[in-house]
A and B are shown apart, each in its own frame.
Chain A
Amino acid sequence: MPIEINWQLLMPELIIVLTLLIVLVFDLFDSISKQVLGWMTIVGAAIALWVSIQMHQAGTVGTQFNDMFKVDNFSLFFNIIFLVSTILVALISISYLGSGDRKQGPYYLLILLATLGMMLMAAGNELIIVFLGLELMSLSLYVLAGYFRESPASSEAGMKYLLLGAFASAFFLYGIALIYGGAGTTSVPAIAEAITSPNKSPLLLAGMFLLVVGFGFKVAIVPFHQWAPDVYEGAPTTIAAFISAGPKAAGFAAFLRIFMEALPSLQVEWGGVLIVLAMLTMTVGNIIAIAQTNIKRMLAYSSIAHAGYVLIGLAAANNDGISSTMLYLLVYCIMNIGAFGAVILAKTADGESLMISDYAGLGMRKPLLAMFMTLMLLSLAGFPPTAGFVGKFYIFKSAVQAGHIWLVIIGAINTAISAFYYLRVVVTMYMREPEEELEFSPYSSTLVIGLIIAAIGVLLIGILPSLMLNPAQNSVF
């Protein structure tokens, strides 16, 4: 039986595939500057972003490939998150990799492949598709984490990520198998139908918990977070930014889709687990972040803590919970990539300056850089009028609505704790005198463009939240 394919429904994915092929072909020509490949990635992702936004506004809905692939506002909103992240990462990568390196082709190729994997995860209406997307994304990221082969730290990061990631994938796959055993299907809507009966089979419960573990590894929630700081520290900074943003959002996209749509009748079970995990993740992430002296490790623990905030929205499990999670992930991706971008901008002649103490006196000597960094950190800490505040507020609101007052209280206290280490960087930049004079490299234009976009995003969503809030509220499946 021939399958009828609705090409329009697949437009964003197809554009990414096309871009990927173009990058692959142009990489063959040695005469072309490799930075052009970066710009191609940006243009391709931007077109896909534009198409996704158009489809989102039109409210396009439909399924493809025997219901395995579902396009709706939910998946389109996540496409927007992924593509914005990809564009920002590509922008900060172009100058980071420099023009000298002749082996940049695969870098952009892998970023596009990972993006495609994320889009599959968000649109997967079938556990197997979600798994395929997850693997496509993860395999690309393993390579990217170890992309600097000469650097032992980078190689170690790639290896660690691969080993632990493979474990996580195995857990995930095992969970799928058990759910198939319990429900007799791997299709998301069919699972929901199959488990309406009151007796919950232990197979389903075991499968569900294995899925939590698998996702927990991918999005780095405590106690499955140990890989994150090492990988972030060792991986190229642009890739650390990438791993902390898009893939985390993709993990949560699939998490939402599977748990809210396929397993709503098990909500009593997973809801409680998520509340405990949220509390653990926020608290452990924030408290360990206080002790960090390396800014990449600090951002790693901060991104763990942010996964905890997102879990509050998941645990709320109401409509506002879903849309607040989506809004928060968008905001988080922008501000986190912005923060990593500012780290890259603080480059000295000897390489990146990664110790927080190196930032002393930056506020006076590099006002623009210090301003970007401060804005991103204030947003991460959740101060108004930045986007971080709005996102956090909305998440807390949805949880109060669901009656999880204690969870919100712990989240709010964690916000106060996190202010301590974010502000410490600001203290160092503006209020301490430098111990040694570091020669900072001049700004590169693409990096500054990326940071300006991030800064505008953070302020715009912070002051006029309706711009992104209304789309997010329209995206609940």
Chain B
Amino acid sequence: MLLSTVIFLPLLGVIAIVLLRGLGASAVKGIALAIGLLTFIISLGLYTGFDAATATFQNVTQEEWIPGLGISYHIGIDGISLWLVLLTTFLTPVCILAAWNSVEKGLSGFMMSLLALETGMLGVFCSLDLFLFFVFWESMLIPMYFLIGIWGGERRIYATVKFVLYTMAGSALMLVGILALYFQNNNSFDLTTLSGPFRHSDLLFLGFFIAFAIKVPLFPFHTWLPDAHVEAPTAGSVILAGVLLKMGTYGIIRFCLPLFPDAAATFTPLIVTLAVIGIIYGALVAMVQPDLKKLVAYSSVSHLGFVVLGLFSRNPAGIQGSVLQMVNHGLSTGALFLLVGMIYERRHSRMIVDFGGLSKQMPVFATIFMIVTLSSIGLPGLNGFVGEYMILFGSFVEGAFSKVYVIFATAGVILAAVYMLWMFQRVMFGTLDKTNAELPDLNAREIVVLLPILLFIVWIGVYPKPFLSKMEKSVDVVVTQVKTQSATGHIEERKLQNSQLALQGTQHEKNEKEAQTK
């Protein structure tokens, strides 16, 4: 019940805004912020009530929804989704507050889209029924489409249509995969009863993986990301980078790895190669961007490459690091987008050449920017370090792939320092341009928006244990699911079993057909 409240409270907010939008802009903003904060506060109950000693799903609700198709309303969280849920409920009020004064037209529509988006994203992280998952996965597209398309920049229409079409192309294949799984799961969409091995698991794996890889986005499916990020309004960019991209990596850890371990093993070299290319390519392209927002967007491609690398290392340290890094990236990249948005509101430019010497004019801004930049680079003591270190450590020491990949990936860490620090230097130091001499420093509202993020950036960096301990058991389960089924000695045996099962399956189909014709 608690979890359903968290998921659908934002939707209630949408209805409230529809009914009360006549009261004016400040009322709409107030309702949205109140609902956003309330959702966050209630979602904290999920954290305090979470039992870290078990890996089973908690706060489970299961109700019949469409019995005729074997579909139920089945939700619950484990130590992995808990963090993504909290990240979502945390970032949404931050975004609402960040958009306080920047939205001029259609404010109520903006807030409604933001809240509807929150429901969609929370639903994705909590669904334990494949159909329900797909419903949330697809319905979340609509509010995002409006957010970019109505409140975005110059090329917003191109960006939003590209975003929707890329995602839909991926999800089309995933839908086929979901249906194929259904018939191998005793005609049920229930995720908790799914257990492999499945027939055609390679194809099924790809069907799911491509949908998630587009969302992550993994090189070479990343081209929608810079467009969407650059054109989206600040709040849209924050949600996009902070939460939406995580839906892809979450999908990999929830579906691809545990359901199709053999296929995951088969495709590991290819995927890890793509991830490493993404890390280095994203960093190199970020380095030469003249536009601050685009730079941050390409840095996301690089960072998410690390997350995918960690996931496919298929050992506890790597996967825990990946999950933590999902949260870290949400915090630090979210903060970067907020900061870029704040400077854009003042100067109406995001071009690096237009700035210089800002540290004298805006000391508070410069300080916060410095902390976030260092977090993004992965300075020890801040959150990024913990995640990246665990990923690289896990991949290097007992990763499921060659160490050469890890060596190349580590180069990405150095490149990150290069592009971030170089950008910081050009924006903050040097001579102050006359046009920038009047820029005001951050106001109280903006500091309130950024402070909670900074708090978590330092907290995770200094003392990550509470975060890691809650996810430990759940990650271990994923690892055992992957390991037991794909340990080298077992592969041949598995294949034999698979083929036997496939034979049984076809026999079963034949019987069914005969029964039908009779």
Contact = CB atoms under 8 A, between A and B. Distances in A.
Nearest to A323: B68
B508 to A, nearest CB: 12
Contacts of A401: 183
Interface string B168-186: 1101110110011011000
A318 B139 contact: no
A466 interface: yes
A14 interface: no
Interface string A388-400: 0100011011001
Interface string B152-194: 0000110011001100110111011001101100000000000
**Size class of B's contact patch?**
35 or more
A423 B173 contact: no
Nearest to B64: A466
A396 B161 contact: no
Interface in A390-418: 393-394, 396-397, 400-401, 403, 405, 408-409, 412-413, 415-416
Contacts of B176: 396, 400, 405, 408-409, 412
A401 B164 CA distance: 29
Interface string A369-384: 0000000001000011
Nearest to A264: B517
A466 B179 contact: no
Given A396-B176, A430-B149, A413 B169 contact: yes
A420 interface: yes
A430 B150 contact: yes
B179 A408 contact: yes
B146 interface: yes
B455 interface: no
A396 B135 CA distance: 15
B135 A465 contact: no
A475 to B, nearest CB: 12
Contacts of A383: 138-139, 141-142
A142 to B, nearest CB: 39
Contacts of A189: none
Contacts of A403: 509
A469 B66 contact: yes
Label chain A's interface by main secondary structure.
helix
The binding surface of chain B is classed by DSSP as helix
B135 A384 contact: yes
A401 B160 CA distance: 35
Contact of B68 (A389, A393, A424, A473): A473
A364 interface: yes
B134 interface: yes
A465 B68 CA distance: 9
Nearest to B105: A364
A426 B176 CA distance: 27
Contacts of A415: 168, 172
A344 B168 CA distance: 30
A325 to B, nearest CB: 15
B191 to A, nearest CB: 17
A33 B68 CA distance: 47
A445 interface: no
A427 interface: yes
B414 to A, nearest CB: 39
A11 interface: no
B135 A423 contact: no
Contacts of B67: 466
A385 interface: yes
B104 to A, nearest CB: 12
Given A431-B156, A465-B66, A416 B168 contact: yes
Q: Which 10 A-B pairs have the closest CB atoms?
A: A412-B172, A416-B168, A384-B135, A400-B179, A431-B149, A469-B68, A384-B139, A416-B169, A416-B172, A384-B138
8 contacts: A383-B141, A400-B179, A409-B172, A409-B173, A412-B176, A430-B150, A431-B157, A469-B66
Given A364-B105, A383-B139, A432-B157, 18 more contacts: A318-B516, A383-B138, A384-B135, A393-B131, A400-B183, A401-B183, A408-B176, A409-B176, A412-B172, A415-B168, A419-B164, A419-B165, A423-B145, A427-B160, A430-B149, A465-B69, A466-B68, A470-B68
